[in-house]
Amino acid sequence: MSLTNQDILSISDLTLDQIKEILSLAETIKSKGANSDHLHGKVIASCFYEPSTRTRLSFEAAALKLGASVTGFDNAANTSSQKGESLTDSIKVIGRYADLIVLRHPLDGAARLAAEATDTPVINAGDGANKHPTQTLLDLFTIKECQGTLEELHIALIGDLKHARTVHSLTRALAHFNVRLYFIAPTELMLPEELCEVMIKHGIKYSFHAHLSEVLNKLDILYVTRLQKERFLPYGNDSATSPYHITLASLDGAKDNLRVLHPLPRVDELSRELDHTPYAYYFEQAANGIPLRQALLTLLLSPT
Ligand code: NCD
């Protein structure tokens, strides 16, 4: 099924074939480069109502590398939302200015609401604690790149699994593959129940753990997330720290092919001493945001 003009609101909106098509084009773009004027004349609206470094800059860089123009904002304080305009009204208008909207918003479900307000395709660049499908595409791309496959892998996700939208979307996507999943978190930060139902439906074997040491020697991928303080603590409350702090010693006994991923930003959950070890793959992961988003924009904006 063609991806042209499709909204990307949840990773579940994509079929497995579509996911594979995006990853495959991203692979070609990474190895051979992309046609630099493929999207000449197109306008991408980059609408970020929440802080972002990698997602916004890699979307914008990807668009510019394809010859598109970028308009938008990185701070809702400078938009009419400050005057009380609803998201729906803003999107109705922005949809008439742009060929595609990239939206990040603090509210769960905001991207779907936006997509209902316009015929212009909307990409969810993160909605509250809910979903982050394009991070997941680049996570899948990166797992395949560093392990050579997406099948038969043992993958652990550790940290704030309750509030991390990257974890929610990645879990949904991994349920398409033959993988064994381990979720490591204190009970109060454990994965939401609805995601267990997704894994059960797909016949994925998974288990919950309190400590990394319980599963470390089995792992091919360790996916680390920060404590998502802004999702459950008032802004400004900085005293909470991550329940885990992964050091080189924490990885003692790991398989040689273990690769550590992290959507970034990192705070206190992952020691810098890992950065120059073969385990670290998180900066390569962040760099993959460019070819992956170039592939996605190309497919969404290609003529039917
Ligand atoms: C993530 C996000 O915004 O959800 N960052 C990203 O997009 N690379 C992860 C996070 O903020 O912890």
| Catalytic-residue membership of 54 | yes
- Total-model pTM: 0.97
Contact status, residue 225 vs residue 158, Cβ threshold 8 Å: yes
Nearest CA to ligand 1 atom 11: 265
CA 54 to ligand 1: nearest atom: 8
Cα–Cα dist 24/42, whole Å? 23
Cα–Cα dist 164/131, whole Å? 8
Nearest CA to ligand 1 atom 1: 263
Ligand 1 geometric centre to CA of 225 (Å): 9
Ligand 1 geometric centre to CA of 40 (Å): 29
Look at residue 303 in the predicted model and tell me its pLDDT: 85
Q: Where is pLDDT greater, at 7 or 234?
A: 7
CA 132 to ligand 1: nearest atom: 4
Q: What is the mean pLDDT of residues 159-174?
A: 97
Q: What is the DSSP letter of 252?
A: T
| Catalytic-residue membership of 166 | no
pLDDT band at 266 (very low <50, low <70, confident <90, very high): very high
Window from 48-62, 154-168, 189-203, 220-234 with minimum mean pLDDT: 220-234
Can you say whether the dihedral through the CA atoms of 93, 68, 166, 193 is positive or negative? positive
Ligand 1 geometric centre to CA of 264 (Å): 6
Q: What is the mean pLDDT of residues 160-169?
A: 97
Look at residue 234 in the predicted model and tell me its pLDDT: 61
Report whether pLDDT(250) > 90: yes
Look at residue 35 in the predicted model and tell me its pLDDT: 77
pLDDT band at 215 (very low <50, low <70, confident <90, very high): very high
Indicate which residue of 30, 104, 105, 154 is catalytic.
104
Query: The sheet that has 43-48: what strands, in order across it?
Result: 69-73, 43-48, 100-105, 122-127
Report whether pLDDT(236) > 60: no
Q: Output the CA–CA distances (angstroms, integers) from residue 277 to 76, 145, 248, in the order listed.
A: 39, 17, 9
Question: Which residues' Cβ are closer than 6 Å to ligand 1?
Answer: 54-55, 126, 132, 135, 165-166, 225-226, 263-264
Q: 50-71: b or e for each residue (b if 16 or more CB lie within 10 Å)?
A: bebebbbebbbebbebbebebe
